[in-house]
Chain A
Amino acid sequence: MDTMQQPTVNHSNFTLERNFPASPERVFSAFSDPAKKIRWHADGRNSEIVAFEMDFRVGGIDRYRYRMSADSPLKGAILSNDTHYLEIQPNRRIVIAYTMGIETAGENRPFSASLATFELLPTATGTDILFTEQSAFFEGADGPEMRKNGWTSLLKSLAEALSE
């Protein structure tokens, strides 16, 4: 057993429950309508949207590309998100598979692959989303290393913010 190899993929599962003050129809349309989705899906804090292509139908693929700002942990790198739609029930359910990666010289190296499920449940005041994500994080493609750099950088920004 001494020669047993360590696994090189880390897995993570988590769930979130959130209530939104809008009908399931309006919440669903924030996922299906590109003009709406771009308003909330992209994190504009330290990146610029380079591509936001959507094909919202079962079998369709979204392609998102973000250029990280020079002062972000990724220093100008292109962050990629390819989202594949596996299941769509209007106003009720969306299931996607997506990879996140770093694109260099047109080559996309994923650092994680995830299955994500959104269940939309109507409530008296709006809609509950039950979100479940099951992810695999790869080695080498800088997943953990990048995260570590991310933390270091976040702590650095915090220091700067506090010293102002």
Chain B
Amino acid sequence: MPNLDQPGPPQRPSESIHRVFHALGDPTRRALVERLSETPVTVSQLAEPLAITLAAVVQHLQILEESGLVRTEKIGRVRTCRIEPKGFSVMEQWIQDRRTAWERRFDRLTDFLMDEQSDE
């Protein structure tokens, strides 16, 4: 079992966004993320409904953990997996930065119209 507890070296953002998209580019890993977004589970619970080996799940989890989307923690003999919300904000920020100038303007126009209304 690879050591999942050591934090990696600081990553450049192009690297971290690459890891996020790479991690989510695989349907099995997306299924794992979907499952974890409902509730934290142990590695074996995570493997159960999937027609893949425990070793394969561990490999997918390692990629998800390196991308920052998922965290695992070993307590006693049991490794528990959960969603890491910070990993998703990397992706949100990346997408946000790529919205056009007009989309950002329209966001501000919405804010302005709401403020104006509440001032009345």
Contacts and interface: CB of A to CB of B under 8 A. Distances in A.
A61 to B, nearest CB: 19
B110 A158 contact: no
Interface in B1-49: 10-14, 16-17
Given A20-B110, A21-B110, A40-B109, A158 B102 contact: no
A133 interface: yes
Contacts of B13: 155-156, 158-159, 162
Nearest to B104: A43
Interface in B57-112: 90, 93-94, 97, 100-106, 108-112
Contact of B93 (A21, A22, A158): A158
Contact of B112 (A40, A116, A161): A40
A26 interface: yes
Chief secondary structure at chain B's binding surface: helix
Contacts of B103: 16
B106 A16 contact: yes
Contacts of A161: 93
Contact of B113 (A22, A155, A163): A22
Contacts of A159: 12-13
B57 to A, nearest CB: 27
Contacts of B100: 14, 16
B105 A40 contact: yes
A113 interface: no
Max chain B Cβ within 10 angstroms of own Cβ: one of A18, A36, A41, A116: A18
B53 interface: no
Contact of A162 (B90, B101, B105, B111): B90
Contact of A30 (B11, B97, B104, B109): B109
Interface string A19-31: 0111000110010
B16 A162 contact: yes
24 contacts: A16-B103, A16-B106, A18-B106, A18-B110, A21-B110, A21-B114, A21-B117, A26-B113, A26-B116, A27-B109, A36-B112, A39-B108, A40-B105, A40-B112, A43-B101, A131-B102, A131-B106, A155-B13, A155-B14, A158-B13, A158-B94, A159-B13, A161-B93, A162-B11
Interface of A: 14, 16, 18, 20-22, 26-27, 30, 36, 39-41, 43, 116, 129, 131, 133, 154-156, 158-159, 161-163
Which 10 pairs of residues, A with B, have the shortest CB-CB distance? Answer: A40-B108, A158-B13, A159-B13, A22-B113, A40-B112, A40-B109, A155-B13, A18-B106, A154-B97, A39-B112
